A = this chain, B = another copy of it.
Amino acid sequence: MSVSTADYASSVPIAWCPGCGNFAILNAVKKSLSELDLPPDRVVICTGIGQAPKLPHYLRVNTFNGLHGREIASAIGIKLAANDLTVIVHAGEGGAYGEGGNHFLHAIRRNMDLTVVVHDNLNYALTKGQASPTTPAGTVKRLQPEGVASQPLNPLALAISQSCSFVGQGTSARADLLAGLLKAAIRHRGFSLVHILQTCPSWDRIHTPQFYKEHCYELGEDYDPQDRDAALRLVMTPEDRHPLGILYLEERPLYNESALHEIEQPLRGRLVEPETADQVLKQLAAKTK
């Protein structure tokens, strides 16, 4: 089987603004999936609500477009039920770290074989540009006329502090690097976070492609993503330079390997056999609580 980007072509008209960084990400997704030789019917893209979450409609692919901020939770349900499929989440940083922050936190703990791609455009774009969890402190918004008072979330440090087994960073301004990063993340067996610095020309005139080109740099060959202390230092130093590539890698047992009883078959094929209850009942009847 040989999959091409054309297999992922969709006829749904795209509702993003011209010049949006999401286009580069969309192309990288097509490229990575086809280069991994994954056919659209073996992949599920799971999203919530926002601009980034519209992405799977612009592909031909199994799509679960659920609720704002709940994409990771739904993806866990999908993956547990269908462990033969490749499950990828695309979320805005508002959904993944704001509304859905709790799911993100606990998904890291599980280390299921999921890839979570966060399109970080530093704002709630679809609802008209309000501050998001990563908006730099001091940014003036209508709801924060004297500037955002909260410090931005540091999702990379958060992930590494919780031993997230794959942490990568890309930017829509460096499309050349994106597909490779996505491929590595999807290939990685375990929970992968791909944080993408995404440009949003409609609401953010500072973080332009040019800006990211200037402020980002590729991690060199000498960088060891398995050195946790170094990775933490890297992502916790002030943010005027952003490293691109695989920031952190850790070998951890996969969720279902470590303790879930082996789910050998995807659940969709399971017959209903009411008699199973008989067996359970027998065991139950034998025991006094």
Contact = CB atoms under 8 A, between A and B. Distances in A.
Interface string A245-268: 000000010011011110000000
Nearest to A110: B150
Contact of A259 (B109, B146, B161): B146
A163 B153 CA distance: 9
Given A154-B162, A160-B161, A232-B232, 10 more contacts: A99-B102, A101-B102, A101-B106, A105-B105, A109-B153, A149-B256, A157-B161, A158-B158, A229-B232, A229-B233
Interface in A151-192: 151-154, 157-158, 160-163
A150 B232 contact: no
A124 to B, nearest CB: 14
A18 interface: no
B109 A150 contact: yes
Interface string A131-146: 0010001100000101
A204 to B, nearest CB: 19
Contact of A148 (B106, B163, B232, B259): B259
Contacts of A151: 109, 111, 162-163, 252
A206 interface: no
Given A111-B151, A147-B259, A149-B110, A232 B161 contact: yes
A150 B133 CA distance: 26
A228 interface: yes
Interface residues of A, number: 41
A14 interface: no
Contacts of A157: 161-162
A152 B109 contact: yes
A9 interface: no
28 contacts: A98-B106, A99-B102, A100-B102, A101-B101, A101-B105, A102-B105, A105-B158, A106-B133, A106-B150, A106-B153, A109-B133, A109-B150, A109-B151, A109-B152, A110-B149, A111-B150, A137-B258, A144-B259, A149-B255, A150-B255, A151-B252, A153-B162, A154-B161, A157-B162, A158-B158, A158-B162, A160-B161, A161-B232
Nearest to A147: B259
Interface in A3-37: none
B260 A146 contact: yes
A157 B229 CA distance: 12
Nearest to A151: B109
